[in-house]
Structure 1
Amino acid sequence: MASIGQIIFYSMIILIVLFSVLIILLLALAFSDSSSEVTSTNTLPIANLGEDIVLSCYLNVKIELAKLREASVTWEKKGLTGVVHRYVDGADELADQNSQFKRRTKVFPEALGTGNASLLLRDVRKSDAGEYTCRMSSSEGKGTVNINLRAAAFTAPKFKFTKGVLVAEASRWFPKPNVTWSDEAGNVLNGSTSFKPNSAGIYKVVSMLQPVNISDTYTCRIENELVSAVSKATVTDTNIFGRTYFTFSAASSLLTSMYLSTLTIIIYICYLT
């Protein structure tokens, strides 16, 4: 016969498993609609300010050519009146389009037959950041998907080497980033960085590193909570060879908070045992 301690222990294990299953179900409900046939290839895109971006939205079925006029697409943005874009009866219907998006949006009628209801958003602004809903309906199916657009500014730095000083200059960053220098062994080096915002609050980043050894390679990392640019610069007697790659954050505050809540519950239960 099991002791009281064993009974309590196994009961706590069962509770932990049940809490984990519950959180997984909550996450599934938060990030998707199981009854929806509409999906997106990227629900957390990051747009570069001043550039265009395509917000993806797809109906998971093909639409017969004869029934294309029955397909409708509506894009809306949380907190705004009017629509971002609407396409219905074979044409754009923009009478109630929010003024923020005038002449800046486009859907692709020629792609609707494959279920493509994606939205082109031109010349992205800071105010464009937020939660969008794509709603598509046709004789073959319907559904909605939510997309959280984040807006940033990011450019690869240009390098100069003068009088023993290596300078990295990036013209556009937002939000304000951090800059870290390191050597080939990964050791962090002491650089000097200045940030100059323009009238729109976008920063010009100038970072200097010295002393610098000829033929050595140095890494300059410029990053904020949305974008990270990792640049490697090799200094020679006559030139600088640099290359940069970008990575983008896909972190969700909702996912993080729910994960932490789960972790807290599990730790608390284990502590009680």
Structure 2
Amino acid sequence: MSSNTKPVANLGEDQILSCYIPADITQNSLGEMFVSWEKTDLGLVFRYQNGAPALDDQAVVFKGRVQVFPDAVVAGNASLLLRSVRNSDKGEYTCSIRSSVGQGKVHIQLRTAVFSAPTLKFSNNILTSEASRWSPKPEVTWLNQTGNFQNASTSFTELPSGAYSVLSTLRSAQVSETYSCRIETSLVVALTEATITGTGVLRRTIFTFSVASTLPVSFYLNLVIGFLCMFYVV
């Protein structure tokens, strides 16, 4: 099984591909565990057997970039850590698990994007939201606390990597009001709630990721809640 069969990885960052044996099975002794991860177009990504990695035929592009966690494997969790995700890593992966109590496999469709949480600053009734990297070029919208759209100006700067930095400015913002800045592409939405205080901005960012329309949307994929941060006006 997997808790997320269509993850969206942030290029250049690490990503966990989820694969595990259901809890009702792991209550029994699993015995010797065999784990294999393969990518449809490249072959072996990672293999774990006899209590150790077995990587003689591992695809070159994954050498030194992937691992499972032995302590987790013996408990039925064969999730794979993929380091420094590249655009070429996207595609279909298959996780296969075999033990004394049974066997199974799950298919994971890895998608890639570039996204970042924005920083916010407030000065002279101007609230700015700046995000360092997004790709493809996102759309940006602002709402006030009653859900009404706000007029704002947004500019994009293309980076050498092909991603974009984003600078969006909301004028006539008011102290003690809460505004929402939404940055989105077809795969990723970053929703930042910003409350203007007397000394700065209190904000929270939530990322959500798209799921295939043929799947029931019963949970947010890779829900990431940004911790509360205070930004002070210099």
TM-score of the aligned structures, taking structure 1 as reference length: 0.71
Q: How big is each residue's C-alpha offset from its partner over 1:198-245, in whole Å with a ceiling of 9 and x where there is no partner?
A: 222222111011122333222111111222111122234432222222
- 2:60 corresponds to: 99
- Structure (1 or 2) with the greater helix fraction: 1
1:108 to 1:238, Cα distance in 2 relative to 1, 3 A: closer
Provide Cα deviations, 1:117-140, integer angstroms capped at 9, x if missing partner: 211111222221111100112222
Q: Secondary structure at the match of 1:83?
A: strand
Aligned equivalents of 2:59, 2:213: Cα separation in 1 = 28
Aligned to 2:9: 47
Give me the whole-angstrom Cα distance separating, in 2, the residues matched to 1:239 and 1:136.
51
Aligned partner of residue 59 in structure 1, secondary structure: coil
- 1:140 equivalent to 2:101? Answer yes
In 1, distance between residues paired with 2:97 and 2:203? 45
The answer as to 2:56 corresponding to 1:56 is no
User: Aligned residue for 2:119?
Assistant: 158
Report the counterpart of residue 212 of structure 2 in structure 1: 252
Matches within 5 A, 1:108-119: 108-119=69-80
Match in the other structure for 1:261: none
Could you say what the CA RMSD is over the residues aligned between the two structures, in angstroms?
2.1
The amino acid across from 2:109 in the alignment is N
| Structure with more of its chain in strand, by fraction | 2
Structure 1 residues 112 and 212: CA distance shift in structure 2, 3 A: closer
Counterpart in 2 of 1:194? 155
Equivalent residues of 1:54, 1:120 under 8 A apart: yes
Distance 1:253 1:196 in 2: 32
Residues 164 and 110 of structure 1: CA distance in aligned 2, closer, same or farther (over 3 Å): closer
> Partner letter of residue 154 of structure 1?
F
Q: Residue type matched to 1:244 in 2? A: T
Which residue pairs with 2:228 in the alignment? none
Distance 1:254 1:77 in 2: 23
Alpha carbons of 1:110 and 1:164: their partners in 2 closer, same or farther (altered >3 Å)?
closer
Displacement of 1:255? 5.2
SS in 1 for 2:61: helix
Gaps of 5+ in 2: 217-234
Q: 1:86 aligns with which of 11, 33, 47?
A: 47
Equivalent position of 1:28 in the other structure: none
Q: Give the equivalent residue in structure 1 for 2:230.
A: none
Matched residue type, 1:147: I
Partner-residue secondary structure (3-state), 2:115 = coil
Counterpart amino acid of residue 148 in structure 1: Q
Number of equivalences? 213
Q: Matched residues in 1 for 2:96 and 2:177: separation?
A: 53
Q: Is the 8 A contact 1:64 1:113 kept in 2?
A: no
Change over 3 Å in CA distance of 1:160–1:91 after alignment to 2: same
Letter in 1 for 2:40: K
Q: Distance in 1 between matches of 2:79 and 2:126?
A: 47
CA contact (8 A) 1:77 1:130 kept: yes
Give the % identical residues.
53
Please, which runs of 5 or more residues in structure 1 have no aligned partner?
1-38, 257-273
* Counterpart residue type for residue 116 of structure 1: N
Q: Residue 253 of structure 1: CA displacement?
A: 5.4
Return the letter of the residue paired with 1:252.
Answer: A
